[in-house]
Amino acid sequence: MTPTSPVSVRTILAPIDDSPSSRNAVRLASQMAHAFGARLTVLHVVGLTEVPVLMGEEDATGPVEQGQILLAEAVRIARSLGVEPEVRLARGHVADQILRAAARARPDLIVMGTRGYRGTRAVLMGSVSRAVSNRARTSVVLVRA
């Protein structure tokens, strides 16, 4: 048996939403970034169902403003733990946008909350965390509330 080399964590991606598990994920990601000396990027995706259809860009500020508030809260949490994160706001299908951001940034780790949907509710509501953890090309840590 050959010894394995230690895993290096230099970059962490933390996708967020408005859930308690997401806030816990930001805390954990920030603690890990601080411990490893890693860069932290916090991402919020304004989902397709949140973007008004057939409205002008100026009319779609509600969900964007809410996303900016969530990102500001995540920055406050990260800074309180000694980390200065980058922030990103994207629009589109949430899981796809997270996976696209991960493909571009190539983080060593994705840390995200999970709402814990199971069974029929998971099928009906979809599971962003499940889609990301199944399709990501990097390790994913799922955090519960």
Domain that holds residue 48: 11-143
The pTM (predicted TM-score) of the whole model is 0.84
Mean pLDDT to the nearest integer, 22-26? 97
Domain-embedded: residue 133: yes
pLDDT digits (tens, 9 = 90+) for 34-60: 999 999 999 999 987 644 555 555 555
Give the pLDDT of residue 42: 98
Domain count, the chain: 1
Strand (E) or helix (H) holding 116: none
CATH code of the domain covering residue 58:
3.40.50.620
123 contacts: CB under 8 Å, gap ≥ 6: none
Lowest mean pLDDT among 20-24, 56-60, 121-125, 141-145: 121-125
Name the residue among 12, 53, 60 with its Cα closest to residue 36. Answer: 12
Asked if residue 92 is part of any domain, the answer here is yes
Of 90, 94, 97, 102, nearest to 136 by C-alpha is 102
| 84 part of a folded domain | yes
Which region among 38-52, 54-68, 70-84, 93-107 has the lowest average model confidence (pLDDT)?
54-68
The answer as to whether 3 is a domain residue is no
The sign of the torsion formed by the CA atoms of 48, 53, 59, 62 equals negative
